[in-house]
Amino acid sequence: MSHMHIPDGVLPLWLVFAGWIITFGILSFCIMRVKNVKLEQKLPLIGIVSALMIVGMTLEIVPIAYHVNLSVIAGIVLGPSLAFIAVFIVELIIAMFGHGGITVVGLNSLIVGAEAALGFYLFRVFWGVVSDGRLSAGLSSALAAVFSLILSSSLMIGIVYMSQASPGRILHKDEQSSDEKMLSQGLFERHEKHLVLDKKIDIERFAKTVFFLGIFGWMLESVITGFVIGYVFRVRPDLILSKVT
């Protein structure tokens, strides 16, 4: 849900460049942190988790138009650094499938990467600090997923608000070539007035829509996360308990 399905050419260049610069900075930091990790043991996990994320992100759940990211699972299993690397790879691949523009990969990596990192740390907090191990791994991961998705969706809303991307401005450009037709029909003046009034996104309405529809998706993804992490903890607890960066 927190992934932005925005094509190229919509967001302002300054925001796109900022997203890529910050993403490359975090990627460099993550790569430096995992230098001492035994990657021969982690690479199969990165491949499996990335594949699961790609499948989840490309399957839409109707009628709420939601897709699961499974990023919290990635964060808990891989750790924040490896999870961010996996998220970037996933975002790049699904952008090539037309699932959002290439220029938005940087911003989407930040949003979903933050979701994975928050999921990792919140899981540790719920399981090891707040409950002192009294909560199951599945329940702790489900709670971590809910709060991570709320925070990452808020981050996505903030980015959309900063962009001030207006469907009206885009439509105005597309309609320039049909000015004569609209004038002949006596519609240009009214259409122009509508576009001018539609230059800023109604962030309040957008946020209400995202959070209302998101509630159902967050519950679903938290249940999936809880079941997966609970199962992994039963069969391979070392994957959950391992100290990863």
First to last CA, the chain: 26
- Domain ranges for the chain: 13-164+203-241, 166-200
Q: What pLDDT was estimated at residue 163? A: 81
Average pLDDT over every residue of 39-65: 81
Average pLDDT over every residue of 4-18: 88
What topology does CATH give the domain 13-164+203-241? Arp2/3 complex 21 kDa subunit ARPC3 (1.10.1760)
SS (H, E, C) the chain: CCCCCCCCCCCCHHHHHHHHHHHHHHHHHHHHHCCCCCHHHHHHHHHHHHHHHHHHHHCCECCCCECCCCHHHHHHHHCHHHHHHHHHHHHHHHHHCCCCCHHHHHHHHHHHHHHHHHHHHHHHHHHHHHCCCCCCHHHHHHHHHHHHHHHHHHHHHHHHHHHCCCHHHHHHHHCHHHHHHHHHCCCHHHHHHHHHHCCCCCHHHHHHHHHHHHHHHHHHHHHHHHHHHHHHHHHCHHHHHCCCC
Q: What pLDDT was estimated at residue 132? A: 64
Give 218's Cβ-side CA count (13 Å radius).
21
Q: What is the pLDDT of residues 117-158, one digit of tens each?
A: 999 999 988 887 765 666 788 899 999 999 999 999 999 888
Q: What is the pLDDT of residues 73-121, one digit of tens each?
A: 999 999 999 999 999 999 999 998 877 788 999 999 999 999 999 999 9
- The pTM for the full model equals 0.80
Q: What is the pLDDT of residues 171-184, one digit of tens each?
A: 333 334 444 444 44
Q: What is the pLDDT of residues 193-237, one digit of tens each?
A: 333 334 455 678 878 888 887 888 889 899 999 999 999 998 988
